[in-house]
Structure 1
């Protein structure tokens, strides 16, 4: 079964090259990709995830304002009743010196994985496959034991 992922650039960010490369890599890896493009709102991500029965939402931000753009994002996902894996990647903070601090911030915010702008798409795809496989296994276990 093909897994659907939502991909887009959040907020006022207009950087399109990274998500274009990621869209091509995800498609080549067998994912069904819904690319929202640039300057996407939180609502657009949530609505697309609902409409497409997505298993993951991948958020990109390169202009350094992801902290503000993603505030309340996971609350919207929860309010919509979605059970999706969430990733964020890019240049997430202005003057980003210590990426581990940035990673920690976004993990606390609710993202399952946080990538810097130098991450190879194949590494993100390998992580996504592993995370989605693990979630499928957990769901099957819950169904069996319920």
Structure 2
């Protein structure tokens, strides 16, 4: 089976690179082809990289709290570029202040994200969801929640 391609990066003016590098290595180890855009990535860069690489998913990270602002309109930008069905994930410290995660998740899903992960989510959790959402293998989904 051909490897699924992920585009990852840290959106906006965020320069938090360590988590991005950890995710890169975990995703590669899990068998994905990973295009790592690094830090301070614009929406346009995500979309262009997804088109160029024929990506299956875009994974957006943010740690500086302004992810909600930086991510607004990304799904629409993807649709305009012909990426209507691309899988969109977002995770990290994506909002300012302490807010109930259920509220944050709802807002990001309303923005068109397929999965929203809170701060501290381990890479294995994200990989399990990727495999499920991209229909890779016969995953044991008994320990995966919606």
| 1:57 Cα deviation from its structure 2 partner | 0.2
| Aligned counterpart, 1:70 | 71
For 1:116 and 1:20, the matched residues in 2 are separated by 18
| Aligned counterpart, 1:29 | 30
Q: Of 85, 93, 96, which aligns to 1:94?
A: 96
Residues 96, 102 of structure 1: 8 Å contact kept: no
For 1:96 and 1:70, the matched residues in 2 are separated by 18
Structure 1 moving runs of 4+ over 3 Å: none
| 1:97 Cα deviation from its structure 2 partner | 2.4
Instruction: Give RMSD over aligned pairs.
Output: 0.9
For 2:72 and 2:126, the matched residues in 1 are separated by 23
Query: What per-residue deviation string (whole Å, max 9, x for no partner) do you get for residues 116-142 of structure 1?
Result: 1210100000000000118xxxxxxxx
For 1:115 and 1:81, the matched residues in 2 are separated by 25
| Aligned counterpart, 1:115 | 117
Q: Aligned to 1:54, what secondary structure does the other structure show?
A: coil
More helix by share: 1
5+ residue gaps, structure 1:
135-146
5+ residue gaps, structure 2:
137-146
More strand by share: 1
| Aligned counterpart, 1:12 | 13
Residues 5, 33 of structure 1: 8 Å contact kept: yes
For 1:97 and 1:109, the matched residues in 2 are separated by 17
Give the total of aligned pairs: 134
Q: Aligned to 2:37, what secondary structure does the other structure show?
A: strand
Residues 55, 85 of structure 1: 8 Å contact kept: yes
